[in-house]
Amino acid sequence: MILIGLTGSIGMGKSTTAQMFAEAGAPVYDSDASVHALYAAGGAAVAPIAAEFPGAVKDGAVDREALSALVVHDPDAMRRLEAIVHPLVREAQQAFLEAQRRAGAELVVLDIPLLFEGGGDRHLDAVVVVTAPEEVQRARVMARPGMSAEKFERLLARQVPDEEKRRRADFIVNTGLGFDEARTQVRAVLEAVRAG
């Protein structure tokens, strides 16, 4: 089974591109959706986060805003949070891969926002980086609810720069050229990967 990593900085259109891979028939594992499930009521991350970060759990689920306020300016707290969440996300990813192997999938796409930051690219057959011009990225991110220029800069500072991601990519999908063009690029990636 061929493992394709999909990544891109905030506001580049990665989630939309992941959807395009799914529409083209590729099974997609969504790391963000996995975290949402872990944070939801009954999720495996709720109890350990409640113990480590008092006040971060409300009504039996992780309150993302409260948790963010506790870790965003504290690198040590962020490391403690990652030590809880990352192993659980890896478990969910392994379960997804096993299910796809059993189903006979020829390839899968792993949508991982911090792929390079976490060193996950070492275990993949190909890496696709989603990109867009800087002004498009900024406009998309600033349109999000609760976003500020300071928060945007903080998020960017935690990510490998777009230029570096593109340099390390096997394939690039540019969403700044419109979604029809991005769909064409996604199909071309799948054809190239299948061709070996």
Answering whether pTM is above 0.75, one says yes
Q: Cα-atom radius of gyration of the chain, to the nearest Å?
A: 17
Whether residue 52 lies inside any domain: the answer is yes
> Tens of pLDDT along 108-126?
999 998 889 888 888 899 9
Average pLDDT by stretches of 10, the chain with 196 residues: 95 95 96 93 96 95 92 90 93 95 97 86 94 94 90 86 95 94 97 92
Closest to 104 measured CA to CA, from 27, 41, 190: 27
Residues, the chain: 196
CATH of the domain at 178: 3.40.50.300
Comparing CA positions, the residue from 98, 83, 89 lying closest to residue 39 is 89
Query: pLDDT value at position 113?
Result: 86
- Phi and psi angles of residue 61, each rounded to the nearest 5 degrees, phi first: -135, 155
Q: Which domain holds residue 11?
A: 1-27+105-196
79 and 116, same structural domain? no
What does the pLDDT read at residue 46? 97
Q: Is 37 found in the same domain as 6?
A: no
How many structural domains does the chain have?
A: 2
- Tell whether 46 is covered by a domain: yes
